[in-house]
Structure 1
Amino acid sequence: MEKYNKRVIINFSLVIFFIMTGFSMTTPILPIFARELGATNIIIGLVISVYGITRAPLNIPLGILLQRRNPFNTAIIGLFFVLVSSVILFFSQNLIHFVLAKILEGIGFLIYILMALRILAEYTRKEERGGTMGIYTTGLLVGTSLGPLPGGFISEHLGIRYVFLAYFLLVLFSLIIIIITKKNIKYNTNLNNIKIGNLLKVIKNKNILIVSFSVSSIFILRTSLISVILPILIYEKFGLSESYIGLIVSTLGISSLITTWPSGKLSDKIGRKINLLTCLLFSSVLVMLIPLANNFFFLQLLIFILGLFLGFSGPFAAYIADLSTKETLTAALSVYRTLVDLGFFLGPFIGGVILEFFNISFFSFLFISLFTFVSFILALTIKLEPQ
Structure 2
Amino acid sequence: LLLLSLASLAYLLCQNVAQLVGARVLHGLAAALVMPASLAYMGELSPKGKEAGHMGLFNAFFFGGLAAGPLLGGGLKDLWGMRSSFITMGVLAFFAFLVTSLALPHDRPWGGPRTMPHWRSLLRKRPLVGVLLIRFCFSVGIGITWTFLPLLATGRWGLSGSQIGLLISLNVLTAMLLQVPSGFLSDRLGKKGFVLVGGGIVALCLYLIPWSRSFRELLLLNLLFGISGGLSIPALMGILVEEGKDLGGMGTVMGVTVMVHSFGMFLGPIFGGLVVDQIGIDGAFQAGAALSLVGVLGFWGLYRRGQRG
Task: Give the TM-score, by structure 1 length.
Answer: 0.65
Q: Which residue of structure 2 lines up, in the alignment, with residue 204 of structure 1?
A: 124
For 1:106 and 1:145, the matched residues in 2 are separated by: 19
* Preserved CA contact (<8 Å) 1:198 1:331: no
When structure 1 is superposed on structure 2, of 112-121 and 247-256 the one drifting more is 112-121
Decide whether the 8 Å contact of 1:148 with 1:247 is kept in 2: no
Shift of 1:116: 3.1
**1:136 equivalenced with 2:53 (yes/no):** no
1:308 aligns with 2:227: yes
Asked whether the equivalents of residues 273 and 385 of structure 1 are also in contact (C-alpha less than 8 Å), the reply is no
- Report if the CA contact (8 A) 1:220-1:344 is conserved: yes
Question: Partner residue of 2:92?
Answer: 174
SS, match of residue 188 in structure 1: coil
Corresponding residue of 1:52: none
Give the distance between the partners of 1:337 and 1:315, measured in 2 at CA: 16
Answering whether residue 259 of structure 2 is matched by residue 341 of structure 1, we say no
In the alignment, does 2:145 pair up with 1:225?
yes
Q: 1:366 matched to which residue of 2? A: 286
**Structure 1 residue 113, shift from structure 2 partner:** 1.8
Which residue number in structure 2 is paired with residue 80 of structure 1?
6
Matched, 1:295 2:217: no
RMSD between superposed Cα atoms in Å: 3.4
Contact 2:241 2:250 in 1 (8 A): yes
Residues 83/356 of structure 1: CA separation in 2 closer, same or farther (3 Å cut): farther
Question: Is the aligned partner of 1:331 residue 2:252?
Answer: yes
Q: Which has the larger helix fraction?
A: 2
Q: Which residues of 2 match residues 139-150 of structure 1 at below 5 A?
A: 139-147=61-69
Deviation at 1:241, TM superposition (A): 3.5
Could you tell me which of 238, 257, 262 is aligned with 1:318?
238
Matched, 1:260 2:179: yes
Unaligned runs of 5+ in 1: 1-74
Give 3-state SS (helix, strand or coil) of 1:315's partner: helix
Equivalent residue for 2:304?
Answer: 383
Q: Distance between the aligned counterparts of 1:244 and 1:212, measured in 2?
A: 33
Distance 1:184 1:357, change over 3 A: same
Q: Distance in 1 between matches of 2:259 and 2:271?
A: 18
The CA deviation at 1:290 is 0.6
Distance (Å, rounded) in 1 between the aligned partners of 2:193 and 2:140: 21
* Alpha-carbon distance between aligned partners in 2 of 1:273 and 1:134, rounded to the nearest angstrom: 15
The change in CA–CA distance for 1:221 and 1:327 in structure 2 (over 3 A counts) is same
CA separation of 1:224 and 1:193: change in aligned 2, threshold 3 A:
farther
Q: Tell me, what secondary structure is at the counterpart of 1:380?
A: helix
Residue 159 of structure 2 aligns to a residue in which SS?
coil
- CA deviations over 1:20-55 (Å, ceiling 9, x no partner): xxxxxxxxxxxxxxxxxxxxxxxxxxxxxxxxxxxx
SS of equivalent to 1:218: helix
Equivalent pair of 1:145/1:252 in contact (CA under 8 Å): no
In the alignment, the residues of structure 2 paired with residue 245 and residue 131 of structure 1 have an alpha-carbon distance, to the nearest angstrom, of 31
2:95 partner letter: I
Deviation readout 1:231-255 (Å, 9 max, x if unpaired): 2223333333432222111011112
- 1:270-319 deviation per Cα after TM superposition (whole angstroms, max 9, x unaligned): 21111111111121011111112222222111111121112212221210
The match for 1:49 is none
Matched, 1:113 2:113: no
Aligned pairs (5 A) from 1:17-28 = none
- Match for 2:205 among 286, 307, 315? 286
Distance in 1, matches of 2:291 and 2:41, equals: 34
Residue 79 to residue 133, structure 1, CA distance change in 2 (3 Å): farther
Query: How far apart are residue 180 of structure 1 and its match?
Result: 3.9
Q: Is the 8 A contact 1:283 1:309 kept in 2?
A: yes
Provide the rounded CA distance (Å) in 2 between the counterparts of 1:209 and 1:322. Answer: 13
**CA distance in structure 2 between the aligned counterparts of 1:245 and 1:121, rounded to whole angstroms:** 35
Aligned residues: 298
Measured in 2, the distance between the counterparts of 1:317 and 1:367 equals: 25
Shift of 1:216: 1.7
Inter-CA distance 342–332: structure 2 relative to 1 (3 Å threshold): same
Farther off after superposition, 183-192 or 230-239: 183-192
Q: For residue 340 of structure 1, report the CA deviation from its aligned partner.
A: 1.8
For residues 41-96 of structure 1, the C-alpha deviation after alignment (integer angstroms, 9 at most, x for no partner) is: xxxxxxxxxxxxxxxxxxxxxxxxxxxxxxxxxx21134335535876xx776xx7
1:346-374 CA distance string (max 9 Å, x none)? 2233334344444432x121111122100
- For 2:26 and 2:273, locate their aligned partners in 1 and report how far apart those are by CA, in whole Å: 22
Change (3 A) 1:97 1:216: farther
User: What TM-score do you get using the length of structure 2 for normalisation?
Assistant: 0.80
Gaps of 5+ in 2: none
Quote the offset at 1:110 in angstroms: 1.2
Question: 2-side partners of 1:129 and 1:273: how far apart?
Answer: 13
Once the two structures are TM-superposed, the CA of residue 211 in structure 1 deviates from its matched residue by 1.0
